[in-house]
Structure 1
Amino acid sequence: MAIMDIFSDVQQFLSEPKKLFIGGEWVEPSSGEYFPVENPATGQNFAQVSMAVEADVDRAVAAARNAQEGAWAKVQPAERSRLMIRLAELIEADAENLGQIISLENGKPYTNAYKGEVVITANIIRYFAGWPSKIEGSTIPVSPRGGEPMLNYTLREPVGVCALIVPWNFPLSMCAWKLGPVLATGCTAVLKPAEQTPLVALRLAELIQKAGIPAGVVNVLTGFGDRAGAPLSAHDDVDKIAFTGSTGVGRMIAKAAAGNMKKVSLELGGKSPNIILPDADIVRAAKGSADGIFYNQGQVCTAASRLYVHESVLDQTLEELRKHAAAHLVGPGLDPANTMGPLVSREQHGIVKGYVDRALNEGAELICGGKAPAHLEGGYFMEPTVFLDRQEQACIAREEIFGPVVTVMSWSDVDELVHRANNTPFGLAAGVWTNNLKQAHTIAAKLKAGSVWINCWNVVDPASPFGGYKQSGWGREMGKNVIDAYTETKSVFVDLS
């Protein structure tokens, strides 16, 4: 197995315990505690990072507030754009190191980390760098009761200090999804990465510092949800919280935010229906469906985990899925030959394996996969897994698994199909594969999901809004829609009489 050598820059980065980034400085945690970061491909610890606690949250929020009301408030929109473009350039220049750090702590193949995260992260920051000079108010023709001449105009102002809590499945690009609009609108941030994947956020902080972004504009706290995330969510001097993660944690964050009525945006779980119509290009549809569930080891909120196949093309689709599952090479992400890495942790591997075992007990038919590859030891690996559950009776057809497990169901009636597809508490994404344009648009209009993909899957762009219906979240990220989430609108009246 040809494992890539660890780059010297990465070795140097990992050689010492990582501190917290607060107010533009690298500081020791108040707790004096550090915790290990595990390589999920080996199960071995390879780095130490700071354990942030409530006192560190207070320090970071204060630094963000000082920057918000001080140096950052004086930076003109054109200068914010320049700083963001500089950051994007630094991300690109450090792409190989960032990709390797992601692969080490998350497990995903290096190629996916490089192309699927680092390149995309730079593109997101560059997209939002175009926004600072375009955030504007308006003049409004009002009709005062007294008839006096009156000028009314609006201002768009930064919402203030933002708490950003990001997940482990895309540990760099999710930072950019939130930091992009923070920097564009003139807000400041306290960023808390997931405890499983803190290192790439700390590397990003080094680049933020190098880009010349003023001290305190972005602060990074590493640690656990109960000791850092909870006090950050409830902090009375935080004006907004943006969270990506599970629906259960999202509910807790929404409750914590009620104390000072801070703004909240949530991008949560999904159980996305993916529909293959009988007239679809089955080879193409099966390839897209396989990519939609096996990419990133299935650890994607929009994973195509519920596959509805018309009964007339069911056998052909299953055969194609078998081929794509068998074609994946599972192993450590730093082996360039591998196309699928381990799950992120022992805990996550146990969750996925538990779902597989339960599905078998509930009568689902295992088509392929369902276990760890026999030749791999020490890491948290799982083969690409396909189940057939024609009438979706098993738990795997209803609950989010967050692993490389797809449940295939058959259908014959379109109206019943749409009802089944929408019969879920989630509404993040959906897909339709067909050559019938009218049918595609008709079904897409009826699906209750924030993103609908026709003859494709997981197409996301910084210019297009992303978010979910129902229990998949509140609000939208990306595009012009997200600017509203990070700004306040002020109405100003001037008596001209």
Structure 2
Amino acid sequence: MAGESNGSAENVIKIPKIKFTKLFINGEFVDSVSGKTFETIDPRTGEVIARVAQGDKEDVELAVKAAREAFDHGRWPRMPGSERGRIMMKLADLIDENIEELAALDTIDAGKLFSMGKAMDIPGVSGLLRYFAGAADKIHGQTLKMANEYQAYTLLEPIGVVGHITPWNFPSTIFFLKVAPALTAGCTMIVKPAEQTPLSALYYAHLAKLAGIPDGVLNVVTGFGHTAGAAISSHMDVDKISFTGSTEVGRLIMQAAATSNLKAVSLELGGKSPLVIFDDADVDTAVHLALLGILYNKGEICVAGSRVYVQEGIYDEFVKKVAERAKTWTVGDPFDPQILQGPQVDKTQFDKILSYIEHGKKEGATLLTGGKRHGEKGYYIEPTIFTDAKEGMKIVDEEIFGPVMSLMKFKTVEEAIERANNTRYGLAAGIVTKDLNLANRVSRSIRAGTIWINCYFAFDPDCPFGGYKMSGFGRDLGFQGLHKYLQVKSVVTPLHNSPWL
């Protein structure tokens, strides 16, 4: 497949040659100790893109050893913050120079829209690097006023060796959501990308070396969660784990951290986010936000607005318009700039989504539109909307991670708040209304880490992101995203006339 063309005569895309398929440990691309490899699959076709080195416990051991040496004795944690920032800026420039190839890798590996990769994902990660690079020389503690005769201050120091375990839905974005602030803090790290989407992570390791990041600071071990991921989570020389993925795996990571060295853990987990639309909303705007909220990235996004609550006064009009718009939503090859939705990431996810659609039918929800496979080849699913859904149904209660909306009617503000909070998750929520007082009231009542009012997916490097309840704890982005990779050390010195001397 590598090297073939794709697209119309006006828009010919060259599929990149796969350059990096080995583990990246201590500044070098190496085979796995076992010599094993695994296939990474193109979800557009179901065909093999390449075979990638399969890291296991022995490879994690080598990567941790390299990261430990780089942290305990290397330059990165000890160099001036301004120098770390300069190297990170160079890495951002290299990413910009390779934007087409990186976007194409995420398209063939994850089924992501190539046009969105070029316009948003890849520029977004270079922007993340520049944001955190600007903070690298501004990490400092505080001078404290002690009650007794002491001088005291705090130091902010890098937490140490970090294990990053990333998901497959945003391979580039979440890689740097974790790596950028950890680099800024002066940490060293091992990244275990999802086995479905390893290609861009290995390319970023190559660019990091070119940018001047010292050997051992950034290591990438490709492989499976139950082997490589488990080895990172339980390793005694890893000081922190940062994980984005399912709640079930998050539990296993916490258990591994607790039974090893009590390493710090931050988790960004599942979601079942509500979008609450009130009677005074502009219906066309509400329909746009609802479809965006569930169909963006083919629904493979943790904050997908999968539970849509519409107040009874505009419910019928909303149902009519959302069905009409959903039927015009284009599904197909993600290299085609006219396409709005590509394939699900792999056959496992494809089958899981279709099984949820069948559950919705069996449990009594009404299929308004979609509900089937799209096309004969690849892992494409039609945009799917259920009405007559209610709490207690699997499609309402459980995270589907696909293009499936559950549409429900409500009467009062109190009912909307109660039903929005009727979930074990708490990652995000959306509110659509022209009434600022109503928006403020509801935003303070919904238990979720991010609330979007009259918008959706409004992310920014400066805006902290994370969850309540079983959506995890800890925050990415913003200065909170940096501080989770730092330790606070208090230093106390008695003054000459201290009564304690």
**TM-score, normalised relative to structure 2:** 0.95
Partner of 1:275: 276
Partner of 2:3: none
Aligned residues: 487
Partner of 2:353: 352
Partner of 2:499: none
Tell me, yes or no, if the aligned pair for 1:287 and 1:320 is still in contact at 8 Å: no
CA distance in 2 between partners of 1:74 and 1:262 (Å): 22
> Which SS does the other structure have where 1:135 is aligned?
coil
Tell me, yes or no, if the aligned pair for 2:356 and 2:400 is still in contact at 8 Å: yes
Q: Kindly indicate whether residue 492 of structure 2 is the aligned counterpart of residue 489 of structure 1.
A: no
Offset of 1:62 from its aligned partner?
0.8
Amino acid at match of 1:257: A
CA distance in 1 between partners of 2:437 and 2:51 (Å): 55
CA distance in 2 between partners of 1:324 and 1:162 (Å): 45
CA distance in 1 between partners of 2:27 and 2:177 (Å): 21
Tell me, yes or no, if the aligned pair for 2:77 and 2:158 is still in contact at 8 Å: no
Q: Kindly indicate whether residue 341 of structure 2 is the aligned counterpart of residue 337 of structure 1.
A: no
CA distance in 2 between partners of 1:453 and 1:74 (Å): 40
CA distance in 2 between partners of 1:305 and 1:36 (Å): 31
Offset of 1:326 from its aligned partner?
1.7
CA distance in 2 between partners of 1:288 and 1:412 (Å): 21
Offset of 1:67 from its aligned partner?
1.0
Q: After superposition, where does 1:460-479 map in structure 2 within 5 Å?
A: 460-479=459-478
Amino acid at match of 1:20: L
Partner of 1:214: 214
Partner of 1:480: 479
Q: Kindly indicate whether residue 3 of structure 2 is the aligned counterpart of residue 2 of structure 1.
A: no
CA distance in 2 between partners of 1:367 and 1:335 (Å): 27
Q: After superposition, where does 1:321-332 map in structure 2 within 5 Å?
A: 321-332=322-333
> Which SS does the other structure have where 1:256 is aligned?
helix
Q: Structure 1: which 4+ aligned runs deviate by more than 6 Å? A: none
Post-superposition Cα deviations, 1:265-291, rounded to whole Å, max 9, x if no partner, equal 000000001000000011001101100
Q: Which runs of 5 or more residues in structure 1 are unaligned? A: none
Q: Kindly indicate whether residue 34 of structure 2 is the aligned counterpart of residue 31 of structure 1.
A: yes
CA distance in 2 between partners of 1:240 and 1:115 (Å): 33
Q: After superposition, where does 1:233-382 map in structure 2 within 5 Å?
A: 233-258=233-258, 259-373=260-374, 376-382=375-381
Tell me, yes or no, if the aligned pair for 2:389 and 2:396 is still in contact at 8 Å: no
Q: Which runs of 5 or more residues in structure 2 are unaligned? A: 1-5, 497-501
Q: After superposition, where does 1:15-164 map in structure 2 within 5 Å?
A: 18-69=21-72, 70-144=74-148, 149-164=149-164
> Which SS does the other structure have where 1:254 is aligned?
helix
Offset of 1:390 from its aligned partner?
4.9
Amino acid at match of 1:18: T
Offset of 1:184 from its aligned partner?
0.6
CA distance in 1 between partners of 2:261 and 2:13 (Å): 46
CA distance in 1 between partners of 2:324 and 2:131 (Å): 38
CA distance in 1 between partners of 2:91 and 2:29 (Å): 19
Offset of 1:195 from its aligned partner?
0.2
**TM-score, normalised relative to structure 1:** 0.96
> Which SS does the other structure have where 2:77 is aligned?
helix
Amino acid at match of 1:123: G
CA distance in 2 between partners of 1:30 and 1:271 (Å): 40
CA distance in 1 between partners of 2:23 and 2:7 (Å): 34
Offset of 1:325 from its aligned partner?
1.3
Partner of 1:402: 401
| Range that drifts further, 68-77 or 474-483 | 68-77
| Range that drifts further, 272-281 or 308-317 | 308-317
CA distance in 1 between partners of 2:189 and 2:482 (Å): 15
Offset of 1:393 from its aligned partner?
4.6
1:233–1:274 distance in 2 versus 1, CA, 3 Å: same
Post-superposition Cα deviations, 1:208-234, rounded to whole Å, max 9, x if no partner, equal 111111111100000001120001110
CA distance in 2 between partners of 1:65 and 1:5 (Å): 45
> Which SS does the other structure have where 1:372 is aligned?
coil
Amino acid at match of 1:457: Y
